[in-house]
A and B are shown apart, each in its own frame.
Chain A
Amino acid sequence: METKIAVSKNVTESAESRNKMEIKNLSVFYRKFRALAEINIAVHPNRITAIIGPSGCGKSTLLRSFNRMNDLTPSAHMDGEIILDGENINASGVDVVDVRRRVGMVFQRPNPFPKSIYDNVAFGPRLYGIRRRNDLNEIVEKSLRQAALWEEVKDKLHQSGFSLSGGQQQRLCIARALAVEPEVILMDEPASALDPISTLRIEELMRDLVQDYTIIIVTHNMQQAARVSDYTAMMMIDDHRAGRMIEFNETNVIFTNPKDKRTEDYVTGRFG
């Protein structure tokens, strides 16, 4: 097997037409400063892809490129292709609002709206004009079940989202993201603010969800990446402080037989 520093071509060649998302030659600039350089990555459908690397290497920036959240930072600018189901979404004329429905996001710290649990989950569907009580009830229940939260909140749907514990709030945020039926779910260190037990529950949830969704997560916790993901991408900062993709492969390969010395150093804990 050829060893490559960038995307391992063998993995993607035959499946290129079936990748859920791809990133080709992406560079992200904040004004003149280049934060990400020439990233190439392919994301397989119904798999969990983890992005790991030392802090500050641009993992979150990369994750936020998948749903064009970097656009919210006025000084940010992206060059390159971001491909969803074969179409480049980093082009002019693309309906970003629709992209963000199809590519949902869960954040590091739970951030429910100051509304009831029901209204949190119903927020997305209501944006799409769904008004009838029955329809909304159905969607809310379905999303909360998928997020493994229904049993715990079904009798208190009208309480504030803030009345839940941290782990429950995070699952509420997941339910909220699921309510608009995305195709891809991005998770930015989804369990880093939670206790170990809540963390494990989120990880179980991920493995359940991946049957219906494609998941990309960023994590600084290597053990989590090893436990949960199918593919892993290793990132590091280069000499110009730009983040680069060092290695991308199936998770067990990355962790047992990495091709790049830097990857090996990182996953064995020699640094970072």
Chain B
Amino acid sequence: MKKISVPQRNHWLARFQQSTHHGDALWSVLIIFASLILLALVIGIGWMLWQQSAEARIKFGWSFVLPTSNSTWDPDSGVFQAWAFVYGTLITSLLAILLAIPISVGIAIFLAELCPEAIRLPLNWMIELLAAIPSVVYGLWGIFIFLPKVVVPVGEGLATVFGQVPLLNSFFTGPIPLSGSSRLAASMILTIMIIPTVTAITRDVLLAIPNTQREAAMGMGSTRWEMIWQVLLPYGLSGILGAVILGLGRALGETMAVTMVIGNSLEATNSLLKPGSTMASLLANQFKEAVSQLHTDAMLEIGLTLFVITLILNLIARFLVWQVARRTPQEARA
């Protein structure tokens, strides 16, 4: 009977293979290392912004970002107050999300509940293609087409209607510039840009609702709309809220299209019809032309502010999603 030879234990390759569990130890190290790199990036960005903006932070304190009536951003004299840009960011994004919510929810309802099978896929694609258009292209179209043809007439209309209404008129003091560059323009373009995000998530939320809910409502004699409005939307509310917050996050960070249509003025007026700036648009315009280290640091502090705001929104959105997962009604077993 032929002797079957046993592999030599002390051959160096065999020992290497054993000690690394046939390469798995190396593999584990590799994937853990990659994961740590990712985490390091996240922490690094926050840390870097914090560190580098130190000089500005120490010098200006909290009043850097708080509302004030005499906000100035004056690189030459070294006085930096960012409220004008914080305001610009907040008002354009909030207006954009307010406009986007009814439109997106309406579209999502159509796509999820009403759309005929034949056109469902093409319509979904088209909404997603809207999200694929690069920001600069939105800006280019904005400057030369959207602003003159749509924003200016709308702005003039708003100035006429609300210009004299007490309380609201500070937001609608006209006239809108000839070019149309204004916060209104930025909000309207942002609306178009975030509709795909909010719509897609809302549609998925609606599609995930079990059919038994629809049958229960319609079986009792509700109309389709009553079923959607009174059963489906309340059921999916947390998910829809998450979609809204994600959309808001996108709007806050949007830079190029906004820079191209907002007029890049440093004034802190309230009016939507006037040019303004956002935190992101300011960075895009001024960062490379900083006149002093303090100027650079102040802008890094703006970057930090933007980072923190979007981080907080992200956390809220995550929390909401976690809530949905916890509260998802389970079918009760008798």
* In-complex A–B contact (CB below 8 Å): yes
Residues of A within 8 A of B (CB): 67, 69, 72, 74, 97-101, 104-105, 107, 109-115, 123-124, 127, 162, 164-167, 169, 173, 176-177, 180, 193-195, 198
The answer to whether A110 and B222 touch (CB under 8 A), given A72-B214, A72-B215, is no
A167 nearest CB neighbor, chain B only: B334
The answer to whether A180 and B216 touch (CB under 8 A), given A74-B117, A165-B332, is no
- 29 example contacts (A-B, Cβ-Cβ < 8 A) are as follows A67-B219, A69-B215, A72-B215, A97-B221, A97-B223, A99-B221, A100-B220, A100-B221, A101-B221, A104-B219, A104-B220, A107-B216, A110-B332, A111-B210, A112-B216, A113-B216, A113-B217, A113-B231, A113-B234, A114-B235, A114-B329, A123-B230, A127-B221, A127-B226, A164-B332, A166-B332, A176-B220, A177-B219, A177-B220
Minimum CB–CB distance for A129 against chain B, Å: 12
**Does B2 sit within 8 A of A, measured CB to CB?**
no
A179 nearest CB neighbor, chain B only: B220
Minimum CB–CB distance for A212 against chain B, Å: 18
Residues of A within 8 A of B223 (CB): 97
Residues of B within 8 A of A (CB): 116-117, 210, 212-223, 226, 230-231, 234-235, 329-334
Minimum CB–CB distance for B75 against chain A, Å: 55
Minimum CB–CB distance for A160 against chain B, Å: 8
Residues of B within 8 A of A180 (CB): 220-221
Q: How far apart are the CA atoms of A195 and B330 in the complex, in Å?
A: 17
Residues of A within 8 A of B210 (CB): 111
Tell me whether A193 and B220 are in contact (CB under 8 A).
no
Residues of B within 8 A of A67 (CB): 219
Q: How far apart are the CA atoms of A67 and B218 in the complex, in Å?
A: 10
Minimum CB–CB distance for B235 against chain A, Å: 5
Residues of B within 8 A of A173 (CB): 216
Q: Which 9 A-B pairs have the closest CB atoms?
A: A166-B334, A101-B221, A111-B212, A100-B221, A194-B334, A105-B219, A166-B332, A195-B334, A111-B216
Minimum CB–CB distance for A49 against chain B, Å: 18
Minimum CB–CB distance for B225 against chain A, Å: 11
Tell me whether A198 and B334 are in contact (CB under 8 A).
yes
Residues of A within 8 A of B216 (CB): 107, 111-113, 173, 176
Minimum CB–CB distance for A232 against chain B, Å: 24
Tell me whether B218 and A69 are in contact (CB under 8 A).
yes
Q: How far apart are the CA atoms of A164 and B235 in the complex, in Å?
A: 18
Tell me whether B213 and A113 are in contact (CB under 8 A).
yes
* A to B contact number (C-beta, < 8 Å): 82
Q: How far apart are the CA atoms of A265 and B234 in the complex, in Å?
A: 49
Tell me whether A162 and B221 are in contact (CB under 8 A).
no
Q: How far apart are the CA atoms of A167 and B332 in the complex, in Å?
A: 9
Minimum CB–CB distance for A11 against chain B, Å: 29
Minimum CB–CB distance for B113 against chain A, Å: 11
The answer to whether A127 and B332 touch (CB under 8 A), given A113-B216, A113-B231, A114-B235, is no
Other-chain residue from A162, A177, A198 in contact with B329 (beta carbon distance below 8 A): A162
A128 nearest CB neighbor, chain B only: B221
Residues of B within 8 A of A114 (CB): 234-235, 329
Tell me whether A107 and B212 are in contact (CB under 8 A).
yes
Q: How far apart are the CA atoms of A100 and B224 in the complex, in Å?
A: 13
Residues of B within 8 A of A124 (CB): 220-221
Residue of B212, B217, B219 contacting most chain A CB atoms (<10 Å): B219
A191 nearest CB neighbor, chain B only: B334
Q: How far apart are the CA atoms of A127 and B69 in the complex, in Å?
A: 51
Tell me whether B222 and A127 are in contact (CB under 8 A).
yes
Q: How far apart are the CA atoms of A124 and B226 in the complex, in Å?
A: 11
A120 nearest CB neighbor, chain B only: B216
B329 nearest CB neighbor, chain A only: A162
Residues of B within 8 A of A99 (CB): 221
Other-chain residue from A74, A100, A164, A198 in contact with B218 (beta carbon distance below 8 A): A100
B327 nearest CB neighbor, chain A only: A114
A111 nearest CB neighbor, chain B only: B212
Minimum CB–CB distance for A30 against chain B, Å: 14
Tell me whether A72 and B218 are in contact (CB under 8 A).
yes
Residues of B within 8 A of A115 (CB): 234
Known contacts A74-B116, A195-B334; 5 additional CB pairs below 8 A are: A112-B216, A113-B216, A114-B235, A164-B332, A193-B333
Residues of A within 8 A of B230 (CB): 123
Q: How far apart are the CA atoms of A162 and B333 in the complex, in Å?
A: 11
Minimum CB–CB distance for A94 against chain B, Å: 13
Minimum CB–CB distance for B326 against chain A, Å: 13
Tell me whether B219 and A100 are in contact (CB under 8 A).
yes
Residues of A within 8 A of B220 (CB): 100-101, 104-105, 123-124, 127, 176-177, 180
The answer to whether A107 and B215 touch (CB under 8 A), given A115-B234, A177-B220, is yes
Residues of A within 8 A of B218 (CB): 69, 72, 100
Other-chain residue from B231, B329, B334 in contact with A165 (beta carbon distance below 8 A): B334
Residues of A within 8 A of B213 (CB): 111, 113
Residues of A within 8 A of B226 (CB): 127
Minimum CB–CB distance for A209 against chain B, Å: 16
Q: How far apart are the CA atoms of A176 and B221 in the complex, in Å?
A: 12
A101 nearest CB neighbor, chain B only: B221
